[in-house]
Structure 1
């Protein structure tokens, strides 16, 4: 039977669950982050994820060696777990759930956990756990230097320099945050679907907002890539992840890879690094 590891990536709006078999991410699942979630509810969510994997309803990563009969029928459901959380009030909720699911206390990404990264950052402890996991996976897949752009509640940029050190980053409001601010802050502006407009210059208010939000995000990412490269003195591979990354990458001037498993794969790698 495969060695199974549960990876839990808690973000502001979504929580991603991953299941790794023998150190390779095999399946993933996404659910809305609930500030009122209890350990019982978290356990139920993971149990539902495992059921979905067993029934072939959860996305299985290409090349993953995972069969339905590899999954335990009762607890412990995995040999261990690792958690990255940007939602402090939920961290212990999921720690308790993971302990019940695996029979052991999970690893949590933070101070004291080995990452294999050099942190050229004034306060390494303040770097978000999700960003650490993404950089670990990006370095493993693309080497160094590499620039990671995450499209979430915030749009973040992380640069690993030629020596593999975290050079620094940029944090800006994300598209959905910008759209919500427009709709709530201007009495006559509606909520709009976030998609590329048919033309750059909108002929309706909704189209104009879509252009400003979506194409504005594309221009911001392209522009900041140029500024980051100029500051570093060299170009890098660019990796996009997060909601809408595929659509944004298709509109950008710069070539960018899209990897929606980046954070979960980074967690699996961190687990292996710290359990040896």
Structure 2
């Protein structure tokens, strides 16, 4: 007798990293679901569906190979969306859900063109509202620095998109011949005494100052204070340096995907 599927797989394909999360089906209706395990893969510029299938076999060796009831995909790389969707079709009985137009989010999007809102931003907002309520501000620190704002009514009010911290450091090194690649960490002092420490100060403390300034402006525009949630690969590095109190949740996008999967099941 086959084992009853009791897990769902969430997949967040970013520009640099692809994150997978395994959730217990019994916990997926919870407003605060947490992944049982996660796995990070490098996002290549091109990949075939067969290569994704091989990666899924390897990833499930890390995550656990219990039968899956379903899968859900967020992909910000349009060229890879269908490739991942086809590969995910083979590992669960139900067709993969893909975050985008037609998928119920349960959230009003106050955006000029709602279809332009990235699927990762929707997942972030859904999870943050479910866990911390409204209003809430999310700062997602990845290839880009994305800020998502949930207003007092619980609607997605919009946000901000800026170059990410690693992208800024790479641009410096590539555009200026005498500037080296640097480790992304905060130097001991703001005023750098070497080229590397000066660059680290500019990149890291510059990002901190930008985020703090943006948060000041957002709170003023909202007209009320709001909890700040940091997620993404650089969240733990940046959070202690901010003036604003911030909660770090590196699994926020995956948690949002689990909630979206639950909301799109037939009664």
1:37 equivalent in structure 2: 47
Q: Does residue 158 in structure 1 map to residue 131 in structure 2?
A: no
CA RMSD of aligned residues (A): 1.2
* TM-score normalised by the chain length of structure 2: 0.93
Write the mapping of 1:1-276 to structure 2, written as runs, cut at 5 A. 1=4, 3-22=6-25, 23=28, 24=33, 25-54=35-64, 71-72=65-66, 77-276=67-266
State the Cα deviation string for residues 34-77 of structure 1 (Å, max 9, x = none).
Answer: 122211221222221221234xxxxxxxxxxxxxxxx44xxxx4
Q: Take 2:61 and 2:177, find their aligned partners in 1: how far apart are those partners?
A: 46
Question: Post-superposition shift, 1:222?
Answer: 0.5
Q: Take 2:145 and 2:239, find their aligned partners in 1: how far apart are those partners?
A: 14
**Runs of 4+, deviation exceeding 4 Å:** none
Contact 1:145 1:237 in 2 (8 A): yes
State the Cα deviation string for residues 175-234 of structure 1 (Å, max 9, x = none).
Answer: 111111111111111110100112111110000000000000000001100001111111
State the Cα deviation string for residues 108-162 of structure 1 (Å, max 9, x = none).
Answer: 0001111011111111010000000000000011000000000011101111001
Aligned length: 256
What 5-or-longer segments of structure 2 have no aligned partner?
A: none
Question: Post-superposition shift, 1:2?
Answer: 5.7
Larger relative contact order (Cα-Cα within 8 Å, sequence gap ≥ 6): 2
What 5-or-longer segments of structure 1 have no aligned partner?
A: 55-70
Question: Post-superposition shift, 1:103?
Answer: 3.6
Contact 1:241 1:260 in 2 (8 A): yes
